[in-house]
């Protein structure tokens, strides 16, 4: 069953770095600092409005319908607009705060460090992420995760995003990794797992919410389960 893997490619957000928890914490601070309760019924209304808009914009960004800059400008502008506030200046201020503060948050999924300690002696590890380069590097540094990874590959490097095969091709090439020696670990079925699988490498689906699927080569619900495969 064990293949001759040499290169482990990880997704970052929602696989190792607990994006939802860190993002929610940052948005709570923003909500308080800017008295957004004047506009929104409560934090949860603000949070769910923002998430819905942000997800839609990320979808457009993935399809190259909008730029990174447009995504950043629009997400808070549209959130405020949803409650009748047209305030470009406030939305820009909030966006800057979000970008500055959220990468400082340090919540990772349970056993992230144990897993990486275990893997780092046996394999070359790299990150393949669709996130913004400057932000992903800061997250890794702040959580002291950077030392585990030989490379961090972002769309700004490759010119492509997961699930595009060219993103995986670029990532493997940059490490001189062969497909048969490589495996991708991620939480997003369409982006990480089906993407990598279509490209032709094995996958481990990190599935903490136990969503039912039959797509990946392997599936784990806890990070440390990966040590049974690798
Ligand atoms: Mg992810």
- Give residue limits of the domains in the chain: 7-18+108-228, 20-104
- pLDDT surpassing 60 at residue 92: yes
Centre of ligand 1 from the C-alpha of residue 211, in Å: 15
Q: Report the CATH number of the 7-18+108-228 domain.
A: 3.40.50.1000
Of the candidates 84, 94, 168, the one whose C-alpha atom is nearest the C-alpha of residue 127 is: 168
Centre of ligand 1 from the C-alpha of residue 187, in Å: 5
Beta-strand ranges (E) seen in the chain are: 7-10, 124-128, 151-153, 182-186, 202-206, 218-220
Ion ligand 1 neighbours (CB, 5 A) are: 11, 13-14, 187-188
- Cα separations in angstroms, 154 against 3, 5, 119, 166: 27, 22, 22, 12
Domains 7-18+108-228 and 20-104 equal at CATH topology level: no
- pLDDT surpassing 50 at residue 1: no
- Digit-coded pLDDT (tens) for 148-205: 999 999 999 999 999 999 999 999 999 999 999 999 999 999 999 999 999 999 999 9
- pLDDT surpassing 50 at residue 98: yes
Q: Quick one: pLDDT at residue 14?
A: 96
Centre of ligand 1 from the C-alpha of residue 164, in Å: 15
Measured distance CA(226)–CA(192) in Å, rounded: 16
Q: Quick one: pLDDT at residue 63?
A: 83
Centre of ligand 1 from the C-alpha of residue 206, in Å: 9
Dihedral angle over CA of 55, 139, 20, 129, nearest 10? 50
> What is the pTM for the complete model shown?
0.90
Centre of ligand 1 from the C-alpha of residue 35, in Å: 31
Q: Quick one: pLDDT at residue 2?
A: 56
Half-sphere exposure of 29 (CA within 13 A, CB side): 15
CATH 1.10.150.240 at 20-104, yes or no: yes
């Amino acid at each position: 069953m064990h293949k001759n893997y040499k290169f482990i490619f990880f997704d970052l957000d929602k696989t190792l770095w607990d994006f939802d928890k860190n993002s929610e914490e940052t948005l709570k601070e923003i909500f308080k600092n800017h008295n957004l309760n004047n506009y929104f019924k409560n934090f949860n209304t603000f949070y769910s409005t923002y998430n819905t808009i942000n997800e839609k914009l990320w979808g457009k960004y993935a399809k190259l319908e909008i730029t990174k800059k447009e995504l950043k400008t629009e997400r808070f502008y549209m959130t405020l607009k949803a409650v009748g506030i047209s305030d470009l200046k406030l939305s820009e201020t909030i966006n800057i705060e979000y970008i500055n503060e959220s990468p400082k948050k340090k919540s990772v999924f349970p056993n992230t460090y144990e897993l990486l300690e275990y893997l780092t002696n046996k394999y070359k590890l790299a990150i393949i992420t669709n996130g913004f380069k400057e932000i992903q590097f800061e997250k890794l540094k702040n959580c002291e995760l950077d030392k585990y990874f030989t490379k961090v590959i972002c769309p700004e490097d490759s010119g492509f995003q997961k699930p595009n095969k060219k993103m995986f091709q670029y990532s493997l090439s940059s490490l001189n990794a062969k497909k048969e020696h490589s495996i991708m670990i991620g939480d997003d079925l369409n982006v990480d797992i089906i993407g990598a699988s279509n490209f032709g490498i094995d996958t481990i689906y990190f599935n903490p919410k136990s969503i039912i699927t039959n797509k990946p080569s392997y599936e784990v619900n806890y990070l440390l389960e990966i040590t049974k495969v690798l």
